[in-house]
């Protein structure tokens, strides 16, 4: 089955690297115009340059998703450039804690919840009215397998991703009859710069991460991008309110 898209514009937050960059490139490969957003201007502009070099069309709009005014400005810039919005991949997120629950700080809690939860909420808050005005569209939020179960020494992060799934399911039901589909993608350990920074000092940790997945390896950013595009595509027209685990079998254990 080939992917097909009835909308022609995709918005990707956290598009400056990793899963966001791979997904922006995948959207562009399918012929969509892409709005790449990130707090990292160099990374975001780099993604746009990769898209343009490959013959695609894209713009970069800087945005801190924890700030309402900046999220609204992101939507305004998208409409100013392309006139409409078809697909939203709310991917911006952080992961900074490394200790047990009682060892966490209020600053860590506020930072993680601010980006991972408030950021997704603000993005949908501004995206949904535009999708309603157009007669529909699709949203995919980045959750995690940590949002489907426990994540020892990452309790705040796990809570934030459980919240993303809650926001996703609730919005999906609220707007199901308005032709707006809302789903989440739940990656396990993926080969990103964040992963390499975490494990490059201790190769044994990398081996442990691979062993967590029954398939015997960690995932790639392209595999997550493929899942996101499927959830956005017309082929997933009967899929909404779903949290799709892309995890090498990790949650099946």
Query: Which residues are catalytically annotated?
Result: 157
Nearest CA to 236 out of 140, 148, 123 is that of 140
Centroid of chain to Cα 112? 15
Burial 91-121 (b: 16+ CB within 10 A, else e): bbbbbebeeeeeebeeebeebbbbbbbbbbb
Terminal Cα distance for the chain, rounded: 29
- For 192-217, b/e burial (b = at least 16 CB within 10 A) is beebeebbeeeeeebeebbebbeeee
């Amino acid at each position: 089955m080939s992917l097909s898209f009835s909308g022609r514009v995709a918005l990707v937050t956290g598009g400056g690297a990793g899963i966001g960059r791979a997904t922006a490139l995948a959207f562009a490969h399918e012929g969509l115009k892409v709005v790449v957003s990130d707090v990292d201007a160099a990374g975001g502009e780099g993604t746009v340059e990769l898209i343009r070099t490959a013959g695609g069309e894209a713009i970069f709009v800087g945005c801190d998703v924890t700030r309402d005014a900046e999220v609204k400005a992101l939507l305004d810039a998208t409409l100013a450039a392309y006139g409409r919005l078809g697909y939203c991949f709310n991917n911006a997120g952080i992961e900074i804690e490394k200790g047990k629950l009682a060892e966490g700080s209020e600053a860590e809690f506020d930072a993680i919840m601010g980006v991972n939860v408030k950021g997704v909420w603000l993005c949908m808050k501004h995206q949904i009215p535009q999708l309603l005005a157009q007669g529909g569209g699709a949203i995919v939020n980045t959750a995690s397998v940590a949002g489907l179960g426990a994540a020892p020494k990452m309790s705040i992060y796990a809570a934030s991703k459980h919240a993303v799934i809650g926001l996703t399911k609730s919005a999906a039901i609220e707007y199901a009859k308005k032709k707006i589909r809302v789903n989440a993608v739940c990656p396990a350990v993926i080969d990103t710069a964040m992963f390499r920074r975490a494990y490059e000092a201790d190769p044994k940790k990398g081996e442990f991460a691979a062993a967590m997945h029954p398939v015997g390896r960690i995932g790639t950013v392209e595999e997550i991008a493929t899942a996101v595009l499927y959830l956005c595509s017309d082929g997933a027209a009967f899929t909404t309110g779903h949290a799709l685990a892309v995890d090498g079998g990790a949650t099946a254990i």
